[in-house]
Amino acid sequence: MNRRELFGALGALSTTAMLNPTQAADHHHHGEMKDKTMMAPLGNHHLHFCGIHCAKKDPRIQIITQHYCGGVAGGMHQCLLYSSAEKDAKLLGVEYIVSDEVYRSLPEVEKRYWHPHTYEVLGGGLIAPGMDDEEEMTFMKGLLTTWGKTWHTWPDPNTPVPMGEPLLMWSLTGDGQEDKAVIAQRDQEFNVNSAEIRKTRIETIGYNIPAVPGPKDIDTIGRQWTASGDDKPTKFKG
C-alpha cells in the first residue's frame, strides 16, 4: 500500500456530523447542497493524531498538538492543529504534509521550513488515539518518511487570544531533546506509554532510532536519520 492509498483508506473512516435541531430543519429544507456547504472543506479533516511540536527558533518551547487532517489534490495532506481534543480547543495553526519524494524536489531555500517525522514515529512521539494497534502501526509506517511544514499562529496557548508573530514549528529529531514533563502529560492524557510505543515500533518497523541534533538556527535544513553523511536508516538487529 503506497502513502496515498494509506491516507485515503484512513480518511474514509469519516465521522458523522451531529446537527442541532435548527441545523437539522435547515438541512431538511435545503437538501444535500446545504449539507455539502456546511461540511466542506471541514468535513475532510477526519484523520486524528497527536504529536509534540517544538519551535524551530527555540526547541525548548514544546507543545502537545492535536492534528486533524485530510487529503488534497496531488497527494498532499493538510492539518488543522488544536490545543486539545475537546470541542472548545484553541486553533493553534496549520501543518502541510508531503512525501519524501515531493520534499526532495523542493528548492533548497524552501526545505528549511520542513521538518522530518522519522524520530517522532519511531520514538513514540506521534500517536493516533482513535485507531486500534494495527491501524496505528500501518498509519505510522506510512508517515515515517514524510515531511511537515507547520506554523503556529497561536504561539502560546496559555494566552487568552493569539499574541505575537507566528512560530515556525519543528519536530523532535533525536534522544534527549524532549521535555519529559510534556511527554508525561501527553501519555497521561491518552493513557499511553511512550517508552513501550518506542520499543514496539523499532521492533516492528525494523529501524534504529534516528540521531539528528536539533536545529542550530532558523535556516537549518532537516535530516531524517543521521547528523552527517549519508542520511539513511540503520537496520534494527534486536
Residue 74: partners with Cβ closer than 8 Å, 6 or more residues away? none
74-95 pLDDT tens trace:
889 999 999 999 999 999 999 9
Do 226 and 208 meet the contact criterion of CB atoms below 8 Å apart? Answer: no
Q: Report residue 49: phi and psi, to 5°.
A: -145, 165
Determine the pLDDT at residue 121.
Answer: 98
Determine the pLDDT at residue 20.
Answer: 39
Q: Which residue has the higher pLDDT, 32 or 120?
A: 120
Helix (H) or strand (E) holding 184: helix 180-190
111 has a pLDDT exceeding 70: yes
Band of the pLDDT at 27, cuts 50, 70, 90?
very low
Calculate mean pLDDT across residues 196-216.
97
Calculate mean pLDDT across residues 180-199.
97
Determine the pLDDT at residue 31.
Answer: 55
146 has a pLDDT exceeding 80: yes
Determine the pLDDT at residue 7.
Answer: 47
User: Rounded to whole angstroms, how far apart are CA atoms 119 and 100?
Assistant: 14
User: Rounded to whole angstroms, how far apart are CA atoms 47 and 136?
Assistant: 11
Determine the pLDDT at residue 81.
Answer: 98
Calculate mean pLDDT across residues 179-193.
97
Determine the pLDDT at residue 131.
Answer: 95
Q: What is the pTM of this model?
A: 0.84
9 has a pLDDT exceeding 60: no
Determine the pLDDT at residue 73.
Answer: 78
Q: Which residue has the higher pLDDT, 19 or 10?
A: 10
